[in-house]
Amino acid sequence: MRSIIVRILALLISIVLVLAILLPVNAIIIGGILALLVLIALFLAILLLAKTTGQKLGQLARSSSLPRPISRSLNESRYYAKLIVQMAQQCPPGPMQDRLNLTLKPVDQWLVNLTRLEQGLSKLYGQRNLARDLRQTSSEIDDLRRQLLTARGQDVSYLRDLKKSKEQHLAALKDLERFQTQAELKIRKISSDLGATHAEMLLITARGDFNENRMRRLDENLQEHLASMRDVLAAMDELGYGTVTSSSY
């Protein structure tokens, strides 16, 4: 942004100098034109700054909507995935590198699904405070129970219907809370699993031990975790917090 502003100012000064050379105007007029152009440049700089600041604040708000432990696990997952991919790329060309690349195919899909899970949770945290909603809805149900004790006539039917509706609302909130907890635990487990995979690969490459049984276990573990992730994403879609259609995973 700074370079853009400098270019704008340089352009404006060049325009003034050209005017001073070509047009028979005095120094006061030239100074006035220069001052006006500088004000225009400052105005443009303010607009650019406001836009950049708004984008940064938007990114910060999105990233800060998740609890710190979850954000840390997400960062660790991406860090381990990067190390794993780099390790496979640094392995000398040959059967071992080919086998590692085959084993690590699910890692890319893991990261795609991890981003989807992160976006779904951010959407959930950004839209509502579940703990507050649960307390409030439970309190409203308790109030309706007390009102039913003294209600008479048509009020009884109305209060019962309202209480039933609130209980359905509470059940939906509890389902949402269970999903949120499951998704958070899944993100933390992914971080741990990728860390274990990285350690296993370090052991394999350090020893130069191309053990097919060990590689097969890695294959099975990665595929198992990927399938488990799909289940969580399917639940997220059902609850309305998916970001893309289920066909993409």
Mean pLDDT, 10 residues at a time, the chain of 249 residues = 60 61 56 63 65 50 66 86 81 78 79 82 79 93 93 91 94 87 82 83 73 78 77 77 49
Whether residues 115 and 213 share a domain: the answer is yes
Domain that holds residue 175: 68-248
Please count the structural domains in the chain. 2
Whether residues 47 and 94 share a domain: the answer is no
Whether residues 45 and 115 share a domain: the answer is no
Whose CA is closest to 75, among 188, 227, 202? 188
Inter-residue contact 182 to 232 (CB < 8 Å): yes
How confident is the model at residue 18, as a pLDDT? Answer: 61
Whether residues 7 and 111 share a domain: the answer is no
How confident is the model at residue 142, as a pLDDT? Answer: 95
Asked, for residue 63, whether it belongs to a domain, the answer is: no
Whether residues 51 and 158 share a domain: the answer is no
CA dist., res. 97 & res. 210, Å (int):
10
Whether residues 51 and 137 share a domain: the answer is no
The Cβ of residue 106 has, within 10 Å, a number of other Cβ atoms equal to 20
Whether residues 49 and 119 share a domain: the answer is no
Whether residues 232 and 138 share a domain: the answer is yes
Whether residues 106 and 189 share a domain: the answer is yes
How confident is the model at residue 191, as a pLDDT? Answer: 82
Asked, for residue 62, whether it belongs to a domain, the answer is: no
How confident is the model at residue 244, as a pLDDT? Answer: 47
How confident is the model at residue 62, as a pLDDT? Answer: 43
Inter-residue contact 236 to 242 (CB < 8 Å): yes
SS3 for the chain is CHHHHHHHHHHHHHHHHHHHHHCCCCHHHHHHHHHHHHHHHHHHHHHHHHHHHHHHHHHHHHHHCCCHHHHHHHHHHHHHHHHHHHHHHHCCCCHHHHHHHHHCHHHHHHHHHHHHHHHHHHHHHHHCCHHHHHHHHHHHHHHHHHHHHHCCCHHHHHHHHHHHHHHHHHHHHHHHHHHHHHHHHHHHHHHHHHHHHHHHHHHHHHHCCCCHHHHHHHHHHHHHHHHHHHHHHHHHHHCCCCCCCHHHC
Asked, for residue 21, whether it belongs to a domain, the answer is: yes
How confident is the model at residue 236, as a pLDDT? Answer: 75
At 127, the amino acid letter reads: Q
Asked, for residue 48, whether it belongs to a domain, the answer is: yes
Whether residues 97 and 166 share a domain: the answer is yes
Asked, for residue 164, whether it belongs to a domain, the answer is: yes
Asked, for residue 177, whether it belongs to a domain, the answer is: yes
Whether residues 201 and 157 share a domain: the answer is yes
CA dist., res. 94 & res. 33, Å (int):
70
Inter-residue contact 221 to 193 (CB < 8 Å): yes
How confident is the model at residue 210, as a pLDDT? Answer: 66
The Cβ of residue 80 has, within 10 Å, a number of other Cβ atoms equal to 21
Whether residues 138 and 232 share a domain: the answer is yes
Quote the radius of gyration of the chain (alpha carbons, Å).
30
